[in-house]
């Protein structure tokens, strides 16, 4: 009887050990062979001077860098670009394909895509990093996480800088000449208009032009009659050339100063403009090539130059894609540390992002999420000098110009 009892105890112990070993084996087998970061955005559309070759270069260079450093806890990282060619139906199709794989995180590049997909991203529970913080993508807060401050907040920082450096008499007078689509509308919100009024800045004109037009002389002629001190334009890619060439035609270039939204403050746009952007001032929320004193940026530049990349590939998009991928690796690493690979999903990464306010971002730049927002806090004022983006301020907190109902 004792022998039988002992036999049962031994069997139970062996069974428990086997289960334990099985669980351990499954836990060890949980990490995937690779971790895929999906980007859905336009690479070959009208914004190709900024996003095209620069995007491909950034993804390749980031992969080499992060995998040489061990990937995500030993798992190789692979970045995949899904080129929408700036077409909504193509973007929606690619999103559906990616979402069907139930990724724990992904990217959307264009504001129009984000605005259309905002509710669906939340339904699918896929935290999504983004590159165009229009008000609709941010308010109310959801599952879209922007890699740069809200455009309204960036404009507030520009106004602060402009006033600090104002040497004219009376109130500074500013005119808007913007493309007629979401990006162009972002500085004409009640929050921006009220901020200018509170700060004593007079808005003298609000002109819009079709985003793919190659001439804005009609709009600039009307603006010229008002003699503004500044013209501010939310332009991107080839649009800065359109604005500045039209300004030159009506005699404004050299007499009126120009400010531009962040996506216009780029070497790709400056190259297309052919020297017309010299002296243009704006906000830049990403690290730039002149930050080479930082160890990580220095390493990035070494990788870039070793591959004989063309200088014009070092655009704002190149910097932004590096930053976004770095944030992804950091968020996923922290999530895996907390829940394990077997429980890595969108909800787990969302929980990390909503609780994690300050990111290391591989040491590329400061990155802190604003309280109650899905956007970072800081940016710099930059100026175009000899087709290069040159910081003329330190990293500064942007004014918080959120809608009244979300204060």
Contact 354, 373 (CB under 8 A): no
Q: What was the pLDDT predicted at 86? A: 86
Model confidence, pTM: 0.90
Residues 6+ apart with CB under 8 A from 63: 77, 78, 79
Gap between the Cα atoms of 323 and 297, Å rounded: 11
Domain annotation for the chain: domains and CATH numbers: 34-149+289-376 (3.40.50.2300), 152-284+396-406 (3.40.50.2300)
Q: What was the pLDDT predicted at 18? A: 44
Structure-token pair, residue 159? 């106004």
Q: What was the pLDDT predicted at 348? A: 98
Torsion, Cα of 197, 202, 207, 211 (10° steps): -60
Tens place of pLDDT per residue across the chain (407 aa): 444 454 444 344 434 444 444 444 444 447 999 999 999 998 887 777 677 788 899 999 999 999 999 999 999 999 999 999 889 999 999 999 999 999 999 999 998 999 999 999 999 999 999 999 999 999 999 999 999 999 999 999 999 999 999 999 899 999 999 999 989 999 999 999 999 999 999 999 999 999 999 999 999 999 999 999 999 999 998 999 999 999 999 999 999 999 999 999 999 899 999 999 999 999 999 999 999 999 999 999 999 999 999 988 899 999 999 999 999 999 999 999 999 999 999 999 999 999 978 999 999 999 999 888 999 999 999 999 999 999 999 999 999 999 999 98
Tokens 């400056």 belong to 270
Tokens 């009892």 belong to 5
278 — phi, psi (to 5°)?
Answer: -55, 125
Query: Which helix (H) or strand (E) element contains residue 287?
Result: none
Pick the closest to residue 304 from 76, 75, 57 (CA basis). 57
Q: What was the pLDDT predicted at 22? A: 45
> Using H for helix, E for strand and C for coil, what is the string for 161-189?
HHHHCCCCCCCCEEEEEEECCHHHHHHHC
| Mutual angle of helices 190-199 and 151-164, in 10-degree steps | 10
Q: What was the pLDDT predicted at 256? A: 97
Q: What was the pLDDT predicted at 44? A: 84
Q: What was the pLDDT predicted at 268? A: 87
Q: What was the pLDDT predicted at 335? A: 97
Gap between the Cα atoms of 260 and 178, Å rounded: 10
Gap between the Cα atoms of 317 and 54, Å rounded: 6
Contact 249, 217 (CB under 8 A): yes
């Amino acid at each position: 009887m004792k022998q039988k009892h002992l036999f049962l105890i031994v069997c139970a112990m062996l069974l428990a050990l086997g289960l334990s070993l099985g669980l351990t084996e499954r836990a060890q087998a949980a990490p995937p062979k690779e971790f895929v970061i999906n980007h859905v955005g336009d690479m070959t559309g009208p914004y190709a001077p900024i996003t095209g070759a620069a995007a491909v270069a950034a993804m390749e260079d980031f992969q080499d860098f992060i995998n040489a450093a061990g990937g995500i806890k030993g798992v190789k990282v692979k970045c995949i670009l899904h080129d929408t060619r700036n077409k909504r139906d193509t973007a929606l199709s690619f999103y559906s394909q990616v979402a069907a794989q139930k990724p724990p995180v992904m990217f959307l590049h264009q504001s129009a895509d984000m605005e259309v997909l905002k509710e669906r991203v939340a339904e699918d529970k896929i935290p999504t990093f983004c590159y165009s913080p229009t008000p609709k993508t941010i308010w109310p807060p959801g599952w879209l996480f922007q890699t740069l401050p809200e455009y309204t907040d960036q404009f507030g920082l520009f106004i602060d800088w402009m006033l600090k450096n104002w040497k004219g008499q009376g109130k500074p007078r500013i005119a808007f000449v913007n493309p007629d689509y979401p990006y162009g509308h972002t500085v004409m919100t009640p929050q921006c208009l009220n901020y200018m009024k509170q700060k004593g800045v007079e808005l003298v004109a609000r002109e819009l032009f079709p985003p793919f037009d190659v001439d804005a002389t009609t709009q600039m002629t009307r603006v010229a009659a008002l003699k503004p001190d500044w013209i501010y334009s939310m332009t991107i890619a080839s649009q800065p050339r359109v604005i500045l060439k039209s300004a030159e035609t009506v005699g404004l270039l050299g007499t009126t100063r120009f400010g531009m939204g962040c996506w216009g403050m780029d070497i790709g746009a400056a190259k297309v403009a052919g020297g017309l952007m010299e002296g243009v001032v704006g906000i830049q929320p990403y690290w730039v090539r002149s930050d080479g004193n930082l160890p990580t940026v220095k390493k990035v530049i070494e990788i870039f130059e070793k591959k004989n990349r063309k200088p014009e590939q070092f655009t704002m998009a190149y910097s932004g894609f590096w930053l976004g991928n770095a944030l992804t690796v950091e968020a996923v690493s922290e999530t895996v540390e907390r829940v394990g690979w077997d429980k890595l999903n969108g909800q787990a990464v969302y929980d990390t992002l909503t609780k994690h306010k300050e990111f290391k971002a591989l040491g590329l730049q400061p990155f802190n999420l604003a309280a109650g927002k899905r956007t970072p806090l800081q940016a710099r004022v930059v100026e175009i000098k000899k087709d290069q983006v040159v910081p003329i301020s330190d990293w500064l907190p942007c004014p918080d110009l959120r809608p009244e109902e979300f204060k």
